């Protein structure tokens, strides 16, 4: 992700920025924000260009169907008249207020009985705001070394680690714990209150400590979640290339009545990355807005091809971090769990809803603010993103990789982070995770996996491949230009 920070003491944690604003996630988790400062980093140069959306009905190419509306979606799911307005919660829970979650809570819908799988870097299941809302596999006996429930996974009490193929789902990055707090942090008077604060989190680790992982690990995580009782799946991750295996997994979830909520990506591009682009048929794609419901400069837009795309709060989102810590991150990684929480609220009102019905209700009740369709775009003039988007000569066979660093920028408080390197005498900060991001882009150069593409996808894929290649060249040229301008200014 791009790192935007003016502080000469900027800290980074596994490639994600910490302390005051940030955005990071695995499409290249974008670091778009500062550490405890509101100023832009010298890596982040603003562009005066303004993007005007093209519209089709209630859908436009920038914000899709607009800001998700929890109160309206839950009321419609329950077959009730629109809920009356209630006072805002305020404070760090402004995101819940913006999407009208308190209206659903006031009517008794808090996510009770719903399981949300978080496929990410793991989850700190002992966190004070999460420990009472962690899913457990009641059919498994802990520590006996036996696959008691016969699901193929030994001692998967709290979920499974598809990155290391074991039952250790601890979060060694922080990203997954932050996402989980937004979904189901307890309503206990401190910390963070999740959008569906009585839902259960099913931790599934598919990304390593640097926020990277393979498409196959993520796909396997989806199958595990569906087959073990998840009702909603959150994917705050993504990549630039099509994967039939991942697409099939998302469609499998949909066929079983499980909705997959997918972050759009943090490149500031005109359309989402994968898997969010699969929301043309299954699941929901989510872009990020700020506290004023303005599309975030880093957020990938909805695009011309109509998707089930909505927006949600994704700038300076306060949530849980490992070790009973809290911090504010930014990114579409932070927006997606807001929508996953809304889906959980809907299911707590009506458990019979299918993925198709949820997609319809979410998009029909979302609202497009006319002002949100026009936003100033900020060019991502960060050295690490320019480098990260250059493919290397080492191609990995048929494995795709995700990197959470492009989905969320981090701002963490009361946490220790590995320092990022600086350029001598200039106070310029460079993300220490560049190398892992570079490996990620190496591995994504293989555009297809070994699975055949369904015939109904042939035309779409040809168009997407052409568009993606052109998009890659345009992005590379743009970032090289920004990179050159940056060093010329030193």
Q: What is the token pair recorded at 128?
A: 């004070």
Exactly one of 120, 171, 172, 468 is catalytic; which is it?
120
DSSP 43-68: T--EEEEEEE--EETTEETTTBT-B-
Q: What is the token pair recorded at 369?
A: 């603010």
Q: What is the token pair recorded at 446?
A: 């293989």
Question: Cα(first)–Cα(last) distance of the chain, in Å?
Answer: 22
Q: Three-state DSSP class for 341?
A: helix
Edge-to-edge strands, sheet with 284-289: 160-161, 200-205, 115-120, 232-235, 259-263, 284-289, 309-313
Exactly one of 175, 178, 299, 409 is catalytic; which is it?
175
Q: Quick check: is 8 catalytic?
A: no
Q: How far apart are the C-alpha atoms of 112 and 104, rounded to whole Å?
A: 12
Q: Are strands 309-313 and 11-13 parallel, antiparallel or unpaired?
A: unpaired
Based on C-alpha coordinates, what's the Rg of the chain?
Answer: 20
Q: For 166, which DSSP code?
A: B
Q: Quick check: is 13 catalytic?
A: no
Residue 19, CA atoms < 13 Å, CB-side half-sphere: 21
Quick one: which H or E segment has residue 349?
A: helix 332-349
Give CB contacts under 8 A, 24+ apart, made by 152-156: 153/224, 156/228
Exactly one of 210, 333, 375, 432 is catalytic; which is it?
333
Distances (CA, A) of 403 to 15, 66, 95, 442: 10, 26, 25, 12
Please state the φ and ψ torsions of residue 392, each to the nearest 5 degrees.
Answer: -100, 180
Q: Which residues contact 143 (CB under 8 A, 6 or more apart)?
A: 155
Distances (CA, A) of 481 to 43, 49, 474, 490: 13, 16, 11, 15
Quick one: which H or E segment has residue 409?
A: strand 401-413
Q: Quick check: is 297 catalytic?
A: no
CB 319 within 8 A of CB 182: yes
Q: For 83, which DSSP code?
A: P
By annotation, the residues acting in catalysis are: 120, 175, 333
């Amino acid at each position: 992700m791009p790192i935007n920070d003016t502080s000469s003491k900027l800290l980074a944690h596994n490639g994600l920025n910490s302390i005051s604003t940030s955005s990071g996630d695995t499409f290249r988790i974008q670091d778009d924000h500062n550490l405890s400062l509101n100023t832009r980093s010298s890596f982040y140069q603003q562009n005066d260009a303004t993007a005007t959306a093209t519209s089709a009905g209630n859908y436009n190419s920038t914000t899709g169907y607009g800001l998700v509306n929890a109160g309206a979606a839950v009321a419609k799911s329950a077959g009730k008249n629109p809920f009356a307005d209630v006072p805002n919660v305020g404070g760090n829970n402004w995101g819940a207020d913006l999407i009208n979650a308190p209206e659903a809570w006031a009517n008794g819908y808090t996510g009770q009985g719903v399981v949300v799988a978080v496929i990410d870097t793991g989850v700190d299941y002992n966190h004070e705001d999460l420990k009472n809302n962690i899913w457990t596999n009641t059919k498994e006996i802990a520590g006996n070394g036996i696959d008691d429930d016969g699901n193929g996974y030994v001692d998967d009490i709290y979920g499974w680690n598809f990155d290391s193929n074991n039952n250790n789902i601890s979060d060694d990055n922080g990203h997954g714990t932050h996402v989980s707090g937004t979904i189901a942090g307890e309503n206990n008077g401190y910390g963070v209150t999740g959008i569906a604060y009585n839902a259960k989190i099913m931790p599934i680790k598919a990304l390593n400590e640097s926020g990277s992982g393979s498409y196959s690990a993520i796909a396997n995580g989806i199958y595990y979640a569906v087959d073990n009782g998840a009702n909603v799946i959150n994917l705050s991750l993504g990549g630039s290339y099509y994967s039939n295996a991942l697409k099939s997994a998302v469609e499998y979830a949909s066929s079983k009545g499980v909705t997959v909520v997918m972050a759009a990506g943090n490149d500031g591009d005109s359309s989402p990355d994968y898997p969010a682009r699969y929301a043309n048929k299954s699941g929901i794609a989510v872009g990020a807005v700020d506290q004023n419901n303005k599309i975030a400069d880093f957020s990938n837009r909805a695009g011309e091809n109509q998707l089930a795309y909505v927006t949600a709060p994704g700038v300076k989102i306060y949530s849980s971090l490992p070790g009973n810590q809290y911090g504010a991150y930014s990114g579409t990684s932070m927006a997606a769990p807001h929508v996953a929480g809304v889906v959980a609220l809907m299911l707590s009102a009506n458990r019979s809803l299918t993925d198709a019905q949820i997609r319809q209700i979410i998009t029909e009740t979302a609202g497009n603010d006319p002002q949100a369709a026009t936003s100033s775009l900020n060019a991502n003039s960060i050295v690490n993103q320019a480098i990260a988007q250059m493919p290397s000569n080492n191609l990995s066979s048929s494995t795709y990789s995700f990197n959470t660093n492009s989905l969320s920028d981090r701002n963490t408080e009361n946490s220790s982070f590995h320092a990022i390197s600086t350029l001598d005498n200039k106070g310029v900060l460079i993300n220490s995770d560049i190398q892992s991001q570079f490996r990620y882009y190496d591995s994504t150069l293989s555009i297809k996996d070994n699975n055949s593409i369904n015939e109904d996808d042939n035309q779409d894929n040809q168009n997407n491949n052409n568009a993606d290649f052109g998009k890659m060249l345009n992005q590379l040229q743009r970032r090289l230009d920004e990179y050159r301008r940056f060093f010329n200014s030193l």
